[in-house]
Structure 1
């Protein structure tokens, strides 16, 4: 009885990527893609990370909702029988929320100065409003330490209103007549654009979504490739599946999972924000998120292919830190640059692959981008993805079946023929 030792595909004269795809292998990429999705979806580390991330997003939104609904309350001590002081506190309590009010102020009448100081020391009162001792023209707000800034601002408005009413009555006129024509409203040239603080938060959130999705999924692709290569499983797969199909399946499967993960994060974030004070910007933010999903879906195809090559260039898991460094640095650069960018620099970034995955949706949210700009930027990103896929396919074919140490890009591209 004669036995034969299996040889590698290239030793058999079978070069997976170069042979013609027949009917039996034409749909192999779909099988590989389904396998990548199932394996990733059942990965405990991935599932735990997904649940933890969703929990963090929900917790942050809950904290913001709690902060937004929380009402500050203060107790203000005033001299007993001093109607002007009591009326000033009442006026401060009535300041509308849109004018910086919204706090609850309670009057605590005290018989004398000693009782007021005792109330501050014992914590019964947060501040003590009383006339200046040397003058009848002013008031003093005393606290055990510095009075709260919000309370000071509100009482300043309340005292000013009561003083104005008293002076108007003494002059034989009314407050309305004295303040006629003094109403000040605000307007903005950019219409309903999002304010700068909310825009910064949104850009940070989008940059973080890109960072988590691209880096986490990219590292998993590279790890999966090198594990199959190190175990020599890929040599068996290459006898049945053209290597370009193997790459296509891995890239598409990982892209589907990464995109689904970001869609989940975005959906949870939008649902959570609906319970916060920023709920008014949800329509604009939703449009920006749709663009982000489109840009991420296109851009990650190129990144996923590059990460797959990084895995093929390595012969051992320990080599991944070196082969994935260029992509990791690029992703970190996008993360740090995009959420802090502004002005002309942000406009430039919105056309640079893969920084435009974050920068262009941010410009859409700010109202700074014309209707055609996201389309042009997306086409540029698609061109980058196509070039990355073509170059990566060649390098992947040249490196995947080579062992014996870390492989360089030049050697991989040359080996593909």
Structure 2
């Protein structure tokens, strides 16, 4: 006894297999993975890289240079070697020849760090902090007290009324990455879906397909096939990104972000189905490949708005947009990770996104069924809605 495969499954399988045999798709995915891996590897290398720098000083500044270099000895990523120069001319010569990265000296009553043509960031930070600490220690000793007493109560601790200050920066970075992933996957798979629909329509193949299966099954299969591809690609990118983060100083924060990342995935998937449905509808409205550019413009503008909201929206605007689909696909998980939103708020926002997706799917199904077999020219939404099957 044989069982007949559901039409939508056949369509979905075909969408997946065609894409997996597409060399440009495979090459683009591999290049994107290589780029992500390279960026993460570079960040990890930068974080762990040990720097050896040379600081030259004339006799009157040697003691200060040694004081600056001593705290740096406790830093496992920076070593400052102090060399002596008999006079200012010799110090300048050391900079010009590349034998020294900086020259510490007094000028007009203030300490000055001179470099040849560009300041070394690590050396500059170490010298600035070291000189300040040494001058403070000398003045504390002259006043008969200690540095600890002088600086007592001067520390500033940064906190947030809502959220975790330590995680805020990482959350912004994660949100930025997720916004980029949502934008590029929505545009790439969405436009592919729209082009697939209009190509079948333009070649009249869809008229043959429509006689062998319901049009709604064709739409469901196309959306599901691209959904599977998007999920697979997202899993690859997120996996590489998480592995890369474990190699950086931010790896310790990953356990606290795990639930937030799961929310990102849930919102991403719901948002992708919404966008894919809109692109399928845009493809059905076109009669030629050249028409897709105009019929998909509203969808493209919507995706761009979501993308830019994830990068630039803040404060009250971000709070309000995080409830509104499809902006919630990016903004609500970001607020959740930073502690600015509770889990129940994310759940409500996700349900609203799913509700809109369901509504759009119902509308798109009607327009898709009525517009798919209309080949006389590009259709408007109202015209497609009222068209006869």
Same fold (TM over 0.5): yes
Question: C-alpha separation between the residues in 2 aligned to 1:28 and 1:178?
Answer: 79
Cα 1:225–1:180 change in 2 (3 A) is closer
Match for residue 186 of structure 1?
A: 157
Structure 2, unaligned stretches of length 5 or more? none
Q: Which residues in structure 2 correspond to 1:103-252 (within 5 Å)?
A: 103-130=78-105, 139-144=111-116, 148=120, 150-163=122-135, 165=137, 175=146, 179=150, 181=152, 184=155, 186=157, 188-189=159-160, 190=162, 192-252=164-224
The range that moved more, 182-191 or 205-214, is: 182-191
User: Which TM-score applies when normalising by structure 2?
Assistant: 0.89
1:222 to partner: Cα distance: 0.8
Q: Which residues in structure 2 correspond to 1:1-400 (within 5 Å)?
A: 27-80=6-59, 84-94=63-73, 102-130=77-105, 139-144=111-116, 148=120, 150-163=122-135, 165=137, 175=146, 179=150, 181=152, 184=155, 186=157, 188-189=159-160, 190=162, 192-400=164-372
Cα 1:216–1:194 change in 2 (3 A) is farther
Question: C-alpha separation between the residues in 1 aligned to 2:344 and 2:242?
Answer: 26
Q: Cα deviations across residues 94-134 of structure 1 (Å, max 9, x unaligned)?
A: 4658xxxx5321110223333223222222122223456x8
Larger gyration radius, structure 1 or structure 2: 1
1:210 to partner: Cα distance: 0.5
Q: Cα deviations across residues 53-72 of structure 1 (Å, max 9, x unaligned)?
A: 11111111122122222344
1:324 to partner: Cα distance: 1.0
Q: Does 1:403 align with 2:372?
A: no
1:92 to partner: Cα distance: 4.4
Cα 1:111–1:414 change in 2 (3 A) is same
User: Equivalent residue of 2:103, what SS?
Assistant: strand
User: Equivalent residue of 1:239, what SS?
Assistant: helix
Asked whether the 8 Å contact 2:163–2:338 carries over to 1, the reply is no
1:240 to partner: Cα distance: 1.2
The range that moved more, 335-344 or 157-166, is: 157-166
Question: C-alpha separation between the residues in 1 aligned to 2:3 and 2:213?
Answer: 9
1:217 to partner: Cα distance: 0.7
The count of corresponding residues between Structure 1 and Structure 2 is 387
Cα 1:85–1:349 change in 2 (3 A) is same
Asked whether the 8 Å contact 1:79–1:109 carries over to 2, the reply is yes
1:176 to partner: Cα distance: 6.3
1:218 to partner: Cα distance: 0.7
Cα 1:115–1:374 change in 2 (3 A) is same
Q: Cα deviations across residues 28-80 of structure 1 (Å, max 9, x unaligned)?
A: 22222222222222222221211111111111112212222234432111235
